Structures are given as C-alpha cells and as structure tokens.
Structure 1
Amino acid sequence: MSRKEEMYAHLEAWKESGLTQKGYCALHSIKAPTFSYWVTKTCGKKNVDSPAQFIPISPTNPVEQKITVEYPNGVKVHLSNTELLKEAIHLF
C-alpha cells in the first residue's frame, strides 16, 4: 500500500470512528502534526470545486468620517460631516 493510499484509508477510518484527531493518532501511533497535514490537504482539495460566496451585510451604525483640512499658515479645520466639507470648500 502506498503512502497516499495509507493516508486516505486512515482518513476514512478516522471519519467513521468518531474519535478526535488526537485520539485516533494515539490509537494508531500516527504523529498528530502529520495526520493534521493529511486532513488539511484532503479538505483543501474538496473545497477547490465549490465556488466562493459573499454574503450581504449592512452596517448597523453609520460610519463617521472625520476630515481635517490644514492650511499652510497652520490653521486646521476639523469636519465630521461631508456636507460641511462641501460648504467649507465653497467658502474658501
């Protein structure tokens, strides 16, 4: 039996056993990091076929935008509202 075949046989047996990875490894004298690598490697292959999906989200609170305009003479104008920024631009 090749190493790859052995890996797949252990993975199937582990899934059917109901044991944790650590418990299965202890029972079968397998190094836990190696077994974890096998699990990750095979799960990654299965997920390649499934397309990525986005879920819509809506912010519950409006995002505050704080804008600071600093003039060469050192005067700073702090604005937290974009409408105020539009008005300030028209003033100067």
Structure 2
Amino acid sequence: METMHARRAFWSAHVQAWRDSGLTQVAYCQQHALRSKALAYWIRRDRQGREADTLTLLPLTVQTPPPAPPGDLLLQHPSGW
C-alpha cells in the first residue's frame, strides 16, 4: 500500500506534466493510462492549496457609526396599521 506522501508526489508530478503538455485532461490521461476524474481531483486539490497559500489576513478597524439624531419616525402599511 502506497503512502499518502508517495501518492501526493505521484499526482503532483502528473498535474505539473499535464500543465506543461498543453493537452486536454482527457488526452493526457489516455496517453498515461490515468483516470481523468482522478487527475481532475488532484488538479482541484493543487489549485485549492495554491489559493490557501496566497491568502493574507489584513487588520481591520471597526468604527461605530455616530448615533442618528432624534426625530420622528412614521411607519405606514397598506393594510392601515
């Protein structure tokens, strides 16, 4: 049974080779005897990993808005209440 590390390395190499090949996912998989759904899964995983690496949290200052000046408020409803 292969380890998760070996599986990840295997698919990472294929994802990069597919990107470099210029082929469609299906054509690449046919040439390399891979399941296209498996390649698509690892492409998504790779993309999500890259997006997670590029996220940055920024500090945020929240200010309370000044209170509204007192005034009259009139609510009307078509039914008359």
> What TM-score do you get using the length of structure 1 for normalisation?
0.54
Match among 61, 65, 69 for residue 78 of structure 2: 69
In structure 2, the partner of 1:16 is: 20
Are residue 50 (structure 1) and residue 50 (structure 2) matched?
Answer: no
Gaps of 5+ in 1: 53-67, 73-92
Q: CA deviation at 1:4?
A: 1.3
Please give the root-mean-square deviation of Cα atoms over the aligned residues, in Å. Answer: 2.3
For the pair shown, the structure with the greater C-alpha radius of gyration is 1
Identity value in percent: 28
> What TM-score do you get using the length of structure 2 for normalisation?
0.60
Match among 39, 42, 56 for residue 43 of structure 2: 39
Provide the rounded CA distance (Å) in 2 between the counterparts of 1:3 and 1:51. 26
